[in-house]
Amino acid sequence: MKIKQILLAARPKGLPVASNFETVDAILPELAEGEVMVKPLYFSVDPYMRGRMNDARSYIPPFQVGEPIESGGVAEVTHSKSAQFKTGDKVMSSGPRPFLPWATAAIFPAEHLRKIDDSIPLTYYLGLLGVPGLTAYFGLVDIGKPKAGETVVVSGAAGAVGIVVGQIARILGCRAVGIAGGAEKIKLLTDTFNFDAAIDYKGNHNMDAAIAAACPNGVDIYFDNVGGDISDAVIKHLNFFARVPLCGQIALYNSTEIPVGPRIQPIMVTRSILMQGFIIGNYASRFGEGFKQLSEWVKEGKIKYTETVVEGFDQLPAALLGLFSGRNSGKMVVKV
């Protein structure tokens, strides 16, 4: 069977460009016993994927030049030689590499797939009830340990993780302040997702003053998705015993040199601040807990969600690059 694949053509230097990707034709072999062929329906694109384009040691192996890029996704079974699955089943990969290759079809051992309930919008498995939602939940609840009345600041607040962090903070009785880029995203945060305040870093030339105005009692929890100058500004306002769940550093992912910023250790020492980096895989044994709580809040109408859906398999590279220019509100997915 003839399919299309999108490969990593070359490792980027700085911000990736279209030439770092290559679309090729490939042939899938015949199905063997115990295997399943799937057709991807939706792919997730996420900031962490930029790190996988580098040949560098990390918590997840890098993409290989000349091989398909892969990401989270939802697929439909088209052919099956396994009693576990039938044509039409909606599935996700759950094997040792729980991703779908960027291809118009793929073959998996049956034990590397899990069936999902298609009565729930399929994209929710990539966002609110998937990795972004779980990241928001465990990062805020487990590391941030919010207490009612505290102030929670979220950078990248209009992204897939950020919008959930702010809403959970509100559910738990905290003041939620989001940082995002552009008037449209600021309005989204306050009007749709009920953030108490939002700061437009693009339209604000004095972040220090903006944070002080939005957080008159200082910052108790800073959920950091961005890093860079924004985080430098927030850290000045951290209270004694503040907590910083360190989730992402998207402002730095395309840096070609090691950036040097303010030395934050004196503030952390003198104010007894806890900063902890984490990845969602750290909480794999507790995913059931997170999924259950998020599902309950969704059913109760306490959490809302938004997505940016890009149409077309060939738009995958552009959608990924769009993350670094703020093209998305909420989760960015590509509908195949």
Query: Could you give the 3-state DSSP secondary structure of residue 290?
Result: helix
- What local confidence, expressed as pLDDT, does residue 200 receive? 97
Q: What b-and-e string marks burial along 142-162, b requiring 16 or more CB atoms within 10 Å of the CB?
A: ebbebeeebbbbbbbbbbbbb
- What local confidence, expressed as pLDDT, does residue 330 receive? 82
94 pLDDT tier (thresholds 50, 70, 90): confident
Distance CA 11, CA 153 (A): 34
CA torsion, points 47, 49, 51, 52, in degrees to nearest 10?
Answer: 170
Question: Is the confidence at residue 21, as pLDDT, over 90?
Answer: yes
Helix (H) or strand (E) holding 320: helix 316-322
Question: Is the confidence at residue 253, as pLDDT, over 80?
Answer: no
Q: What is the mean pLDDT of residues 20-29?
A: 97
Q: What is the mean pLDDT of residues 6-35?
A: 96
pLDDT digits (tens, 9 = 90+) for 111-157: 999 998 888 889 989 998 888 999 999 999 999 999 999 999 999 99
Q: What is the mean pLDDT of residues 259-265?
A: 84
Check if the beta carbon of residue 151 is closer than 8 Å to that of residue 218.
yes
pLDDT digits (tens, 9 = 90+) for 165-175: 999 999 999 99
Check if the beta carbon of residue 199 is closer than 8 Å to that of residue 176.
no
pTM assigned to the model? 0.81
Rounded to a whole number, what is the distance in angstroms from the first to the last CA of the chain? 18
